Chain A
Amino acid sequence: GAGVSQSPRYKVAKRGQDVALRCDPISGHVSLFWYQQALGQGPEFLTYFQNEAQLDKSGLPSDRFFAERPEGSVSTLKIQRTQQEDSAVYLCASSPTSGSAETQYFGPGTRLLVL
């Protein structure tokens, strides 16, 4: 079956532009996560949804970052007034339950480059 998909796969933005990154989780998956992976680093947690509820947004680095999942399925991560330090791969993951992390499946990521 289809896995987690993300779009766009690559995004180049000029500093100061707003960007929107989309995540389509596996159908029926309750939990959805966003991670940020800078070059040469491991992924870092940004935010977590259970259905449409955003239960944890402790990892969002600033108020320029905003995530939503209005219908409990597709999620969008929005970054306003992008800065060069926002350049990273943004990974989305989904899980069928709020149980074990073993069931967390990752998407291919969106590589964001801010010039």
Chain B
Amino acid sequence: EDKVVQSPLSLVVHEGDTVTLNCSYEVTNFRSLLWYKQEKKAPTFLFMLTSSGIEKKSGRLSSILDKKELFSILNITATQTGDSAIYLCAVEGWGQGAQKLVFGQGTRLTINP
């Protein structure tokens, strides 16, 4: 059965700190790994990763995938209070129902001023 495990489940840091969020996975016929930010209800897309070792970057956020070790990390540098949210990792497998996402439990990130 496909499975995604995120760590830590909760993280509290001060504004300006750098954080690293972890995601490990098991999936049949891996297609992609995605990161989302969930502030209120609707998860919003951050990154999609399909290849090992290629960093995706958007402003202060970056992410990388290791398909050999089956994990991904999401880095946020110079954190701001607006980064406070739940960060979700999800994997997608090939097959009927491609785009069917298996999510991790999420990491609740709190940035204190």
Contact = CB atoms under 8 A, between A and B. Distances in A.
Interface residues of B, number: 26
Interface in A73-99: 89, 91, 95, 98-99
Given A101-B32, A101-B34, A101-B48, A45 B43 contact: no
Interface in B1-27: 4, 6
Interface in A59-115: 89, 91, 95, 98-102, 104-109, 111
Given A89-B41, A101-B92, A42 B106 contact: yes
Interface residues of A, number: 29
Interface in B24-73: 31-32, 34, 40-45, 48
B101 interface: yes
Interface string A38-51: 00111111001000
B25 to A, nearest CB: 12
B101 A45 contact: yes
Contact of B42 (A91, A95, A100, A102): A91
Contacts of B102: 45
Interface of B: 4, 6, 31-32, 34, 40-45, 48, 88, 90, 92, 96-106
